[in-house]
Amino acid sequence: MAGEGEPGSEKSFKLLGILDVQNIPCARESVLYGSLGSLVAGLGHFLATSRVRRSFHFGMGGFVLTTLGCWVYCRYNHAKLRIQQRIIQEGMRNKILYESSDFDPESKQNKSQGSHS
């Protein structure tokens, strides 16, 4: 068991020493899209206004907003996926347990289809 965690820790890359972008789901994509958003916002503002300092401010704001937006969207979808995985797992387990018994949902479905026809 001591060796299980080590491969994960060798591959970890922590931004600012805290955010492990390799192992946290959605972190890498959020930071990458955030960097892109920062570049677009900062560069775009500079090209439009030629104000260097303010362009950096816009770049920073773009980074924060893009990272946050991408993070919230990705984590929401990730959570939906996990819920679906849990439902499927539960369904598979119940199917194996209840197959051919009175609790089998498939047999109830077939019975109701048979009664309708």
Query: Which residues contact another protein (rule: CB under 8 A)?
Result: 1-6, 9, 15-16, 18-20, 24-25, 27, 30, 53, 56-57, 60, 63-64, 67-68, 71, 75, 79, 82, 86, 93
Report in angstroms how near the CB of residue 107 gets to another protein at its nearest: 24
* Tokens 């955010």, located at residue: 19
The answer to whether the beta carbons of residues 11 and 22 sit under 8 Å apart is yes
Half-sphere exposure of 115 (CA within 13 A, CB side): 5
Cβ neighbours, 10 Å, residue 92: 10
- Do residues 42 and 59 make contact, with C-beta atoms less than 8 angstroms apart? yes
Token digits of residue 89: 């797992």
Q: Cβ closer to another protein: 88 or 109? A: 88
Q: How far is the CB of 64 from another protein (least distance, A)?
A: 5
Q: Rank residues 40 and 74 by Cβ distance to another protein and give the closer one.
A: 74
Least CB distance to another protein at residue 46 (A): 16
CB 34 within 8 A of CB 70: yes
**Cβ of residue 100: shortest distance to another protein, in angstroms?**
20
